[in-house]
Chains A and B, each alone.
Chain A
Amino acid sequence: MYRGLASDLAPLAVALPIVMACAVLVVQRWASRRLADLLAMVAAVAALGLSAALVAATKDGRVVTWSGGWEPRDGRSVGIVLVVDQLSAGFACLAAGLTCCALLYSWRYLEAAHGHYHALMLLFLAGMIGFVLTGDLFNMFVFFELMGVSAFALTGLHIEEPDSVQGSLNFALINSLGAYLSLMGIGLLYARTGQLGFAQLGAKLAGHPADGLIVGAFVLVTIGFLVKAAMAPMHFWLADAHAVAPTPVCVLMSGVMVEMGVYALARVYLTVFATSIPAPVVQRAFLTMGLLTAAVGSLMCFAQRHLKRLLAYSTIAHVGLFLIGFALLSPDGLAGVALYVVGHAGVKGALFLLVGLLLDRFQSLDEGKLFGRVGGRHPACWMFLLAALALAGLPPSGPGLGKAITEEAASAAGYPWLSVVFVLVSAVTGAAVLRAGLRVFLGRGHRPGPIEPAHQIGAEPKEPETEHPLRRTPLTMLVAIGALLAGSIVVGVVPALAQAVGRGAVFFSDQAGYFNQALFAVPAAPAPASAAWWSWSGILLGAASTVLAMIIAGISLHVRPPERGHFRSRMIAGVELVRRLHSGHIGDYVAWLLFGAAVLAALIGLPLLP
C-alpha cells in the first residue's frame, strides 16, 4: 500500500526527540554544555517543524499511520494506529514550541544537572507528542507514563531545595495512583470489547446503552487524565509541583501538560463513549466539576503571595474553565477551549519565566520580600503587566479570544450565565497577577507583612537557579519571554489560526468520521468554514473582565487588612478553611483523589441507574 510522506511525519515526530535525547546523553560526558544546549534545541525545533507539517497535512481531515505496517483488514488490526487531526497536531506544535522557549530560557542555566536536564526535557517532549498523536488507548497510557516519569524527575531537579523534592514526590505519587486507576479502566474496557484502538472501541460500544461496566470504565480511565488536569479535588499536587519545579519546566507543565489531561478526556469521551454515555449526563457532571475547580483555583490564587504558587493556582482556575468548555460538548466549545489553551500557554509561560528572572536575581519568590525591589525601568515590568491583562482576557489577546468563543458556545448550549463565571474567574486570576506585578515592580500599595508561620512556603530565601545570582538579564531569557507573549497575542489577531482550530474541532468531534478514516481509510468529509472569531459581545466581555481585574487589583492594593469580626475578616476565615485543606500531606491527597473519583462516579452513574 502506498504510504504518503504525510503518514511518516507522526512516527518521526515521536522518534526524533527520543533519538536526540540519547545523543545528548552520550555526548554530555565529554562535550561542552553548549553542545547539549544546541542538540536539544535542534531536536525541539525539528519536532516543532514536523508537528507544523502535520498541522498542514491535516487541513482536510486526519493523517492515519499504522505502526509496524499492520494496516487493518476488514476494519481489524493488531497494530497501533496514530490518528492525527488539526487539534492533536496543534497540541504537538504547542508542546514543541514551548519546549523551544524553555530551552532557550535555560541556555545558561541549571549547571549541575546539565545533560540530564536536556535529555529529560526531550523525553518529556516525546511523551507529550506521542500522547496526543496516538489513536490507541493503551499506547496513550504508555506515553502518559513517559510524560509523567520525565516530569517527576524534572520537578525534583533542585535536589537541595526541601520544597522541590517534596513537591516532586507528591506529584509522582498522586499522578501514578491516578494512572493505575486509568489502567484498571482500560482493563475493564478491554474485557468488554477485546479492543484497544479508539476507533475499534467506539465502534464496539456504539449503540450499547451505558451499563455499570461502561460507566465504571469511563470514570476510571478518565481519573488518570483528570488528576493530570488537576480537576478539584484532585488538584492539590499541581500547586506543590508547579511552585517548586525549575522555571522552564513550569512553562511546559502549566502550559501544555496539564491541558493534555483535558485533551485526553475529550478524545476518549468523543471517540469511545459518546454514543453510549448520554451527553447531558456528561455535560452536567463536568460543568459541576469545572465550576468547583474554577472556584477553588481562583480563590486560592488570590490568597497566594508565593508568586509561582499564585500562577499555579491560576492554572487550576483556568483548567476549570477548560473543563466547562469541554462540557459544552460542541465543536465551537472545543475550538474555544483549544484557542484558550494556546493563548493561556503563552501568557502563563511568559509569567513563569518572568518570575524565574526575579528568582535568579533577587533569590525570592515572595510578593512581600520582592516589594518594590525591581523597579519599573526593567523590561520585565511591562511584559509582566501586559501578561496579567492578557490573562484577564484583554482583547485582542489569545486568552481573550478563546474565552470569547467559549462564552458564545456556552450561550448557544443554553448556559448564558456561564459568561459571568468566565468573566469572574479571568478577572480574579488576572487581578491576582496584576496586584503582584504592581507591588513587585512598581511598589504600589502597602507592603505585605511578614509571612505567617502557618504558610511556610516561600519563607526561606531561595537559591537562584543559575549558578550565581544574575546581575543583568541575559538576552536569551528575554527573547524566550518575548516569543511566548508574542505567540499568545498572535493567536488573538490572526484569523487563519482560529479558522483552522474551528475546522479541527469539527473533525475532532466527528466520531463516525474518525472511525471510517482510521479503519477504512475513507477520506474525511470537508468541514464547514468556521465562524470562530471575535464578536462584539466577546470584545465587550473581554474588556469587562480586564477592567474588573484592574478594579479588584486596585482595591486589594489599597485596602488595609480588616478588623477582627468584620464581614471581610469572616470571608478571609472562609478562605483560610479552604486553604487549610491544601496541607501538603500525601495521605490527604490520596483521600481526596478517591473521594473525587467517587463523586464523579456518582455524578455520571446515578442518573443512569434504571
Chain B
Amino acid sequence: MSRRARLLVFGLGAAGLAVMFAFAVAGMPPFGTSEHLYRDLAVPAALQHRTANVVSSVNFDQRALDTLGEEVILLSSVIGTAALLRPTRGEVRRPTTRGGHVSDSTTLVSYLLLPVTVLIGLDVVAHGHLTPGGGFQGGVVLATAVHLLYLAGRYESLERLRPLTWYVWTEGLSAASFAVIGLVGLAQGSGFLANVAPLGSFQSLLSAGTVPILNVVTGAAVAGGGVVLLAQFFGQAIGTTRPPTRRSTS
C-alpha cells in the first residue's frame, strides 16, 4: 500500500478502536475507587504468610505460577537472542583492546561505582519480601553493574569477568530451581509452588517462607540472563565484524 493508503486504513481502525475504548471507559469505575476485590483477598493472604511486601507475596506466593512463566519467558528470550546473534559463517571476532577513549576520571568513577552497584543489587534482591524491589529489579541491577566495566574502558577485563557459559548456566539452573522448588510443594502434597518453607516472623529478614528463596533464585536467573543478553549486544556492537562481501539481496 502507499503511505497514504496505509495511514487511511490505520486512521479508520484507530478511530473505531478509540470510539470503542471511550465506550468502555465510560463503564469503568472512577479512577481511585476504594473498591478492589482482589486486593481485599491478597493483603490478608500476604499477612497470613508473614510477607511484608504484598506485591512480592502476589508475585512469589499467591500467583507464583505467573512469575515462573515470566522467568521462563526471560530464559526463552535469552536463548533466542543468543541463537539469533550467534556468529555466522565468515564472521570474525575483532580483537578487542579498549572500549574507546575514556578519561581517567570516568574510569575511576566506574571502578568506584561497580562495587556500590553490586551491593545495591544484592540488597534489593535480599530484601524483596520486605521492601520494594526483589529478584527481578536486583537482578537487572547486577547484570548492568557488570557492564560498568565497559564504561571504565576495560572491555578486556569485562570479557575476563564474563565467561558467558557460566552465566548461561546460572540462568538455566536458577530457572530450573524455580520450577523444582515448585515441585517440592507438589511432592509434599501442598500444591505446585506452595509456600512450604517455615514462615518466620513478620517484617524480619527470615520471614515469608519461600518468597525470599524464590526472590534469590529469580535474582540469580535475571542477573545471569541479563549479562548474557547484554553481552550479545555488546558483542555485536564492538566485538564481531564481517567484511561486507556477501551478495546483495536487493
Contacts and interface: CB of A to CB of B under 8 A. Distances in A.
Interface of A: 3, 8, 11-12, 15, 18-19, 21-23, 25-26, 29, 65-70, 76-80, 112-113, 116-117, 119-120, 123-124, 126-127, 130, 134, 138-139, 142-143, 145-146, 149-150, 152-154, 156-157, 159-160, 162, 165, 188, 190-196, 211-217, 219, 460, 581, 583, 585, 587-588, 590-599, 601-602, 605
A11 B6 CA distance: 45
Contact of A142 (B6, B69, B75): B69
Contact of A23 (B17, B168, B176, B183): B176
B179 A120 contact: no
B13 A594 contact: yes
A321 B73 CA distance: 32
Contacts of A601: 16-17, 19-20
A509 B22 CA distance: 31
A172 to B, nearest CB: 10
Which of B12, B15, B69 counts the most A-chain CB atoms under 10 A from its CB?
Answer: B69
- Give the top 10 A-B pairs by smallest Cβ distance, nearest first: A153-B80, A598-B16, A216-B24, A194-B37, A212-B23, A594-B13, A213-B27, A69-B191, A11-B192, A22-B176
B66 interface: yes
A603 B142 CA distance: 50
Nearest to A112: B86
B80 A149 contact: yes
A3 B62 contact: no
Nearest to B175: A22
Interface in B44-90: 45, 58, 61-66, 68-70, 72-73, 75-77, 79-84, 86, 88-89
Contacts of A124: 76
Interface stretch (B28-36, B123-131, B148-156): B28-36
Contact of B179 (A15, A149, A152): A15
A242 B207 CA distance: 49
A145 B73 contact: yes
B41 interface: yes
A65 B27 contact: no
B14 interface: yes
B26 interface: yes
Interface in B175-212: 175-176, 179-180, 182-183, 185-186, 189-195
Nearest to B36: A194
A441 B29 CA distance: 64
5 contacts: A23-B176, A113-B83, A142-B73, A145-B73, A188-B28
B37 A67 contact: no
B28 A587 contact: no
Contacts of B21: 216
Contacts of B23: 211-213, 215-216, 605
Contacts of A193: 37
A406 to B, nearest CB: 31
Nearest to B45: A78
Which of A67, A160, A162 counts the most B-chain CB atoms under 10 A from its CB?
Answer: A67
A15 B194 CA distance: 14
Interface string B114-156: 0000000000000000000000000000000000000000000
Contact of B13 (A78, A165, A598): A598
Given A80-B63, A80-B65, A68 B194 contact: yes
Given A159-B84, A598-B15, A79 B9 contact: no
Contacts, number: 249
B99 interface: no
Given A68-B64, A78-B42, 13 more contacts: A66-B191, A68-B63, A79-B63, A116-B82, A159-B86, A188-B24, A193-B37, A194-B35, A213-B27, A593-B13, A594-B9, A595-B9, A598-B17
B169 interface: yes
Contact of B72 (A8, A18, A195, A599): A18
Which of B19, B24, B168, B169 counts the most A-chain CB atoms under 10 A from its CB?
Answer: B24
B37 A146 contact: no
B20 A605 contact: yes
Contacts of B86: 112-113, 116, 159
A195 B38 contact: yes
A342 B68 CA distance: 29
A212 B61 CA distance: 35
Contacts of B165: 29
Contacts of A211: 23, 27
B29 to A, nearest CB: 6
Contact of B12 (A69, A145, A598): A598
A337 B126 CA distance: 50
Contacts of B237: none
B184 to A, nearest CB: 11
Contacts of A154: 80
A120 B83 CA distance: 10
B68 to A, nearest CB: 8
Contacts of B189: 3
A228 to B, nearest CB: 16
B45 A70 contact: yes
Nearest to B190: A69
A25 B172 contact: yes
Contacts of B6: 585, 587-588, 591
Given A120-B79, A138-B66, A69 B185 contact: yes
B108 interface: no
B173 interface: yes
Contact of A15 (B20, B42, B183): B183
